[in-house]
Structure 1
């Protein structure tokens, strides 16, 4: 009898895990319109990260959504007057592992020109045509897209989790892990308070695995996981000319032009091939590991298609993802003088430019800031951090004001071969029916390094948004099929993951 029981136990453990995807898909087919109605209502809630009242309304809404699904919740803040991180917890009887799911519900500003519909009045389109999806018959076309701020970055991940929980409950499928959730409300500001929140709630957030739900899928359309993301630090520079605009015929050969000064200053920091020229910037960059090279080499080639889609005649590296483990210096904006009907033949009083530097593991934002300012001084610039007065302007031939962004973050990268990472890859593989792609580090940035370091937990990034979702730009969108697939992926991570 004992031998028979042992054999049965062996058979039970040897059986392949069963994905809940077919059950979840059937449930989704029957509830597509309600799912899209719910998501539309969520996207319609303004969520620009700098507008605290709107962010707080989103936080209260999400806390209620989790409570309705059996979670105990708390709104975690660094202090009064700062955005809330929504925390939720639901334990599963008998579960041996706890998974912490991260996403963010705040969004980028909406002032970009060219929105074809209002950012917080979501519409569904088939190509350029608005679709009356509520009146349409039959299944919703998965290639239709819903447009609005936050659709792809990052409300899709939040909605996928909520809908996955609903699908599992409706189908009587119990999660296999204890579930903890943190949904951040200031990621798009650089997560200035996330580290403080995590450190103050280390015991509350303790888990065996962190799943980072943010960012787009691979450009091939295949499901991909990543093992970290880059850090970021940003700043704004101002250079000064005369204290009032001057006629460029009378003074153009005598008074230095802020336009030219800014152009030369930018050229001293980055060359035309993307190489950063700031001394020391590459000193802390770690070399690629063999596992990194193998994972990058296994990614499907998509560069030729992207060149055609973006209409670009050259690229800075041969393979897109190969640049993710190197820092990137990006010029976000340059402004000087006026243009169009307001253009004047005058020397401007100042020129401004905005930058961000994407950081890789081992680089520290504070050290990079020091390297930038040391470079500026080495180029003969007198560096200030407030508007210079007349005496200062007379005393120094070249003055640059540097204003660093409030939020910055370090990069994070975890090993590709942890048991937890294997469990995530296997779960998603069973859901989608093919081996998941593995990206050593994603190109984007977040404050997730603070969570990983404070909790000493392995991290795996799971993306569900279409790569061409226009995140951070006008006409942000989400392909409906990506939301449908994302619900299945999250259901698998909840109910089909053990290690």
Structure 2
């Protein structure tokens, strides 16, 4: 992207890059990772609040933001932080987002020389809980913002608002309602944030939304308790067998969806063109792909980013560790339907009940435990082209655009509730081990992320008026 002040743009990118080479980024990230902001841990109420008030708020205030701590609309859940930097109400306004909470540390499971609560640098990786999800990612963007402010002598050329939450890892309770309740305060023209992974570690990526997710539980309790498999086998119901067959009526042995109400709408050619030939996996640190798994006739990219999938994420009946010769009295599985835009997921509970009843599984109980809507911005939207060109110019290489992330983030709060065009610039990669031991961020992606974000913030200030005009 050409700009009238190319030298100053280059200076902003250099300042951002120097933030890493000087050691400043690692020092800040280490301080943030050291704060045990485990949202699934009920003992972390104080650290979750302190991360907003004592860590992020001073940083944002130093960058010229005014901040407001917002009580979570759901009682007992962590607060949110709203920050805004208004240079001129007439200017274009960008909304951004980040989360400071992390999953449980799993301290005892990390490899030697690393741990969840300090940053360890090893073989080009920055290990620590939250390095990839999401402390490292929002730290990159804040550092890039500081570099642009320095290069522009304290002005951005646009307004910026940011939402930080502390409960994304437990489903973002209250975030959607907070956006509804404060829609006027959060009003903006565009949305940009960083979370989730690139399509691959060496492929700069943008994504425009995410697949949705709906979690449900199938349970069968016979009321018999555990009964000796010799004395009672063959004449009482084994709930594990029934549950297994209930699952088999929904998904094939190769992962193909069998129930029509779970299947996606036909994939548009525009989406198929974006995802058909994407380079998914294939590295030594990636899991082994199964080309025969999932919907037949589709490429790996089409399956991951353009299709629906049903996954079993929890399964219990009896014990495989301390085996006893007994028929279990109860069996249960937890499933997640990952789905693309256009799927009628709100009616999943009713459809599951009708399906199971129709297949003879009336005794199997269904409990839908909630989910997120799927979102997807039109790839032809001018904001997409603007970000893509800016990032490509900063990094000197092509940028891949995904119609949506394969995973799920609370993008519906910004796309649907606030009505914003949403683009995400991820600073991680699929094998970062988020939610697992040995979570890490790649040094190479940090360096690229700082340059990409700085260049984008610079370009937004340089071209805010013309970009706003193109939005209609």
TM-score (norm 2): 0.87
Equivalent in 331, 334, 337 of residue 312 of structure 2? 331
8 Å contact kept, 2:20–2:26: no
1:369 matched to 2:349: yes
Cα-to-partner distance string for 1:188-225 (whole Å, 9 max, x where unaligned): 22233222111111111111111131111121511111
1:347 matched to 2:340: no
1:42 matched to 2:32: yes
Equivalent in 152, 160, 172 of residue 132 of structure 2? 152
Q: Distance in 2 between matches of 1:325 and 1:311?
A: 20
Unaligned runs of 5+ in 2: 468-472
Q: Distance in 2 between matches of 1:412 and 1:263?
A: 32
Cα-to-partner distance string for 1:118-165 (whole Å, 9 max, x where unaligned): 8542242535xxxxxxxxxxxxxxx2x222222211222211122223
Q: Give the paired residue count.
A: 450
The alignment partner of 1:74 has SS state of strand
Equivalent in 187, 199, 214 of residue 180 of structure 2? 199
8 Å contact kept, 2:198–2:430: yes
1:103 matched to 2:104: no
Equivalent in 108, 112, 122 of residue 126 of structure 1? 122
Cα-to-partner distance string for 1:301-327 (whole Å, 9 max, x where unaligned): 345x25984245544255332122222
The 5-angstrom pairing of residues 51-62 of structure 1 reads 51=42, 53=45, 54-60=47-53, 61-62=55-56
1:422 aligned residue: 385
**Worse-matched range after superposition: 364-373 or 198-207:** 364-373
Q: Distance in 2 between matches of 1:358 and 1:312?
A: 18
1:356 aligned residue: 336
**Worse-matched range after superposition: 23-32 or 242-251:** 23-32
The 5-angstrom pairing of residues 60-139 of structure 1 reads 60=53, 61-76=55-70, 77-92=72-87, 96-111=91-106, 114-116=109-111, 120-127=116-123
8 Å contact kept, 2:9–2:455: no
Residues 181 and 20 of structure 1, relative CA distance in 2, 3 Å threshold: farther
Q: Distance in 2 between matches of 1:306 and 1:242?
A: 48
Residues 206 and 20 of structure 1, relative CA distance in 2, 3 Å threshold: farther
Q: Distance in 2 between matches of 1:414 and 1:240?
A: 43
**Worse-matched range after superposition: 427-436 or 473-482:** 473-482
8 Å contact kept, 2:144–2:450: yes
Q: Distance in 2 between matches of 1:180 and 1:447?
A: 17
1:135 aligned residue: none
Q: Distance in 2 between matches of 1:329 and 1:113?
A: 31
8 Å contact kept, 2:205–2:402: yes
The alignment partner of 1:70 has SS state of coil
2:287 aligned residue: 310
**Worse-matched range after superposition: 412-421 or 174-183:** 174-183
8 Å contact kept, 2:205–2:426: yes
Q: Distance in 1 between matches of 2:141 and 2:358?
A: 51
**Worse-matched range after superposition: 454-463 or 315-324:** 315-324
> Between Structure 1 and Structure 2, whose CA radius of gyration is higher?
1
Q: Distance in 2 between matches of 1:119 and 1:368?
A: 40
Residues 308 and 88 of structure 1, relative CA distance in 2, 3 Å threshold: closer
8 Å contact kept, 1:20–1:495: no
Q: Distance in 2 between matches of 1:209 and 1:355?
A: 34
Residues 378 and 49 of structure 1, relative CA distance in 2, 3 Å threshold: farther
2:213 aligned residue: 232
Residues 449 and 20 of structure 1, relative CA distance in 2, 3 Å threshold: farther
The 5-angstrom pairing of residues 159-178 of structure 1 reads 159-172=139-152, 174-178=155-159
Cα-to-partner distance string for 1:344-380 (whole Å, 9 max, x where unaligned): 1111121121111112112243212221222222222
8 Å contact kept, 1:99–1:207: yes
**Worse-matched range after superposition: 323-332 or 311-320:** 311-320
1:392 aligned residue: none
Using the TM superposition, give the Cα deviation of residue 292 of structure 1 relative to its aligned residue in structure 2, in angstroms. Answer: 1.8
TM-score (norm 1): 0.82
Report the RMSD for the aligned CA atoms in angstroms. Answer: 2.8
Cα-to-partner distance string for 1:363-414 (whole Å, 9 max, x where unaligned): 24321222122222222233xxxxxxxxxxxxxxxx3333332x41111111
1:403 matched to 2:382: no
The alignment partner of 1:442 has SS state of coil
Q: Distance in 2 between matches of 1:254 and 1:483?
A: 61
Q: Distance in 2 between matches of 1:315 and 1:125?
A: 38
Q: Distance in 1 between matches of 2:357 and 2:50?
A: 45
1:275 aligned residue: 256
Cα-to-partner distance string for 1:413-460 (whole Å, 9 max, x where unaligned): 111122222211121112111221111111011221132122222111
